[in-house]
Amino acid sequence: MKVTIVGGGKVGYYLVKTLIEHRHEPTVIEINPHVCERLANNIDIPVICGDATMLQILEAANTSKADAFISVTGSDENNLVACQLAKMQFGVKKTVAKSNNPKNVQAMQAIGIDNVINSTNNIASLIEREVDTSRIKQLIAVNHGEASIFEVSLPADYVYDGRMLMELKIPAFFNIISITRGDALIIPRGQSTLKSGDTLLVMAESSSVKELKSVLKIKD
């Protein structure tokens, strides 16, 4: 997944490291040349030095090829404008903005930003859920984001093909709601089996994507 990050400070740097660890391809836009130099010297990624509210800078960062656009500068106005340009001018489907002032969250959401996050920790959690793996996708957040319903696509050569759910050590933090196999919908029981190519709906704690991958033996 290609992700453009605006802002190379502490939050942006952490997000870059998180994305690289999960084998995604981040590009950073940063207006401060000293921060750009530090990023370029420490991480082997594209770093564009410039103002992300300017179209030519977004073009230089290949924003049109980004799967997600995340703006985490210290200016809510710049985060808003950058995300709007990414979505409207470059067709980026997923935009995320950090709101430094909680009072701005609703206004930014109303204008069309897909996710507005006020907490740095929430941003990291969101990125974990959104880009951790293409086989696990968050569909719906539940109870103010504490839990989520995830769609899990089992691969063609699934390691647990033919295994019954009762044979798996499924922890308390998630529950398999349904199994879709072709046109058939299966309400799972302990003796229900998993098959390669199945699609699962899973209720789990929102922060548990890594554990969900581990239990179900899902690879990127």
pLDDT tens string for the chain (220 positions)? 889 999 998 888 888 887 887 778 899 999 999 999 999 898 999 999 999 999 999 999 999 999 889 999 999 999 999 999 999 999 998 898 988 888 888 888 888 888 888 765 556 556 655 544 467 887 777 776 678 888 899 999 999 999 999 998 888 888 999 999 998 999 999 999 999 999 999 998 877 778 888 889 887 6
What backbone phi and psi angles, to 5 degrees, belong to 143? 55, 55
pLDDT at site 91: 94
Instruction: Report residue 66: phi and psi, to 5°.
Output: -80, 140
